[in-house]
Chains A and B, each alone.
Chain A
Amino acid sequence: MFGKGESFRMNTAETPFEFVTVSYLTRIGNQSAGTLAELLTGLENCSDASIFHHTYQTLGSHHFLTEGFSNDFAQWVLADTSRNDLAEQLAALDIRDYVSIAALRSDLCRVVGEFCSAFQTFARQTALERFYFCESVEVTAPLGRSARTLDEFRDGITYLSHASFYFHFISSRLRLQLQTNDFSHWLSDGLGLPTLADSVNHIDIYTNTLDSSRAKLVRLIDRERRKV
Chain B
Amino acid sequence: MSETLALTRIPLHEYAGLLGAGEIEELRALAKPLRGRSIQMINSTAVGGGVAEILMRLVPLAEELDLRIKWEVMSGGEDFFEVTKSFHNALHGAPYHATKKDFEIFLAYNERNRATLPLDAEFVVIHDPQPAALIDARKPGSNHWVWRCHIDLSHPHRGVWDFLETFVSRYDGAMFSSPEFSKQLPIPQYLFYPAIDPLSEKNCELEPEFIAQILARYQVDPRRPILTQISRFDRMKDPIGVIRAYRIVKRYFDCQLVLAGGSASDDPEGAIVLKEVLREANNDPDIRVIELPAWAPLEVNALQRASTIVIQKSLREGFGLTVSEALWKKKPVVASAVGGIPIQIIHKHTGMLAHSVEGTAYQIRFLLSHPEIAAKLGEHGHEHVKENFLITQKLKRYLTLFLILARGS
Binding site for B on A (CB under 8 A): 21, 23-28, 30, 32, 61-65, 68-69, 75, 79, 128-130, 132, 134, 137, 139, 141-144, 159-164, 209
Contact = CB atoms under 8 A, between A and B. Distances in A.
A67 to B, nearest CB: 8
Contact of B188 (A27, A64, A79): A27
B180 A162 contact: no
Q: How large is the interface on B (under 10, 10 to 19, 20 to 34, 35 or more residues)?
A: 35 or more
Contacts, number: 99
B349 interface: yes
B243 interface: no
Given A25-B404, A129-B342, A159 B179 contact: no
Contact of B179 (A28, A68, A79, A162): A28
A128 B337 contact: yes
B190 interface: yes
Contacts of A79: 346-348, 353
Nearest to A66: B380
Given A61-B387, A161-B20, A129 B337 contact: yes
B189 A27 contact: yes
Contact of B22 (A26, A65, A159): A159
A141 B402 CA distance: 13
Given A26-B191, A28-B182, A64-B380, A139 B29 contact: no
A162 B193 CA distance: 19
Interface of B: 20-23, 25-26, 29-30, 32-33, 176, 179-180, 182, 184, 188-191, 337, 342, 346-350, 353, 355, 380, 383-384, 387-388, 396-397, 399-401, 403-404, 407
A28 B22 contact: no
A75 B348 CA distance: 10
A137 B396 CA distance: 13
16 contacts: A23-B26, A23-B30, A23-B403, A26-B190, A28-B191, A63-B387, A64-B383, A64-B387, A68-B349, A79-B347, A79-B353, A137-B400, A143-B26, A143-B29, A160-B22, A164-B26
Contacts of B403: 23, 139
Given A21-B29, A65-B380, A129-B342, 19 more contacts: A23-B396, A26-B191, A27-B190, A28-B176, A28-B179, A28-B190, A62-B346, A62-B349, A79-B353, A137-B400, A137-B404, A141-B26, A141-B30, A144-B29, A159-B25, A161-B22, A161-B26, A162-B387, A164-B22
Nearest to A72: B346
Contacts of B26: 21, 23, 141, 143, 161, 163-164
B48 to A, nearest CB: 29
